[in-house]
Amino acid sequence: MMKTVALLFLCMALVGSSSLNRVKRQTSEEEQFIKDAEKQITNFIDQIYGGSCLSDDQCTEFISYCHRDTPIQPLGSCRPNWWSWVILALIVMLILGSCAGCCLMQCCCLYKCCQAIFDCLCCCCRNKGYSPANRG
């Protein structure tokens, strides 16, 4: 009877350790996946700005080029083209303009919400309405 109980505990310990090993393996696979994703994102960003290059082919096509300080310098760094900066600036201005338009134009569906936020944040933005002068 004692041998059976000892054998049962041994089997339970083996099953438990194998399942722990599988959980550790899954965790390490997830960590490896995250590390690979971070590396790919970093490589993509380096191909746009800041990565080392020898020619324009090593940078992202149509977005950046290989910039060298001097013509005889063999190693350069990827830098965005001037039109990439213009497009980025236009996108930022479009977003800011849309937000300002919704806050300032009464025809926007978010105007009431923005006015309520302004009333909470700033006393000078409150809509106090018209009050006639006291005559009397």
Q: What is the pLDDT of residue 92?
A: 94
Position 5 confidence tier, pLDDT thresholds 50, 70, 90:
low
Give percent of the chain above pLDDT 70.
Answer: 66
Domain boundaries, the chain: 12-80
Q: What pLDDT digit, counting tens, does each position of 26-35 carry?
A: 668 888 888 8
Q: What is the residue-averaged pLDDT of the chain?
A: 76
Phi, psi torsion values for 78, nearest 5 degrees: -75, 135
Give residue-wise pLDDT tens across range 52-63.
888 889 888 889
CA pair distance 74, 53, nearest whole angstrom:
9
SS in 3 state form for the chain?
CHHHHHHHHHHHHHHHHHHHHHHHHHHHHHHHHHHHHHHHHHHHHHHHCCCEECCHHHCCCCCEEEECCCCCCCCEEEEECHHHHHHHHHHHHHHHHHHHHHHHCCCCCCHHHHHHHHHHHCHHHCCCCCCCCCCC
**11-54 pLDDT tens trace:** 566 555 555 455 556 668 888 888 888 888 888 888 888 888 88
- CB count in 10 Å sphere of residue 56: 14
Residue 14 vs residue 66, higher pLDDT = 66
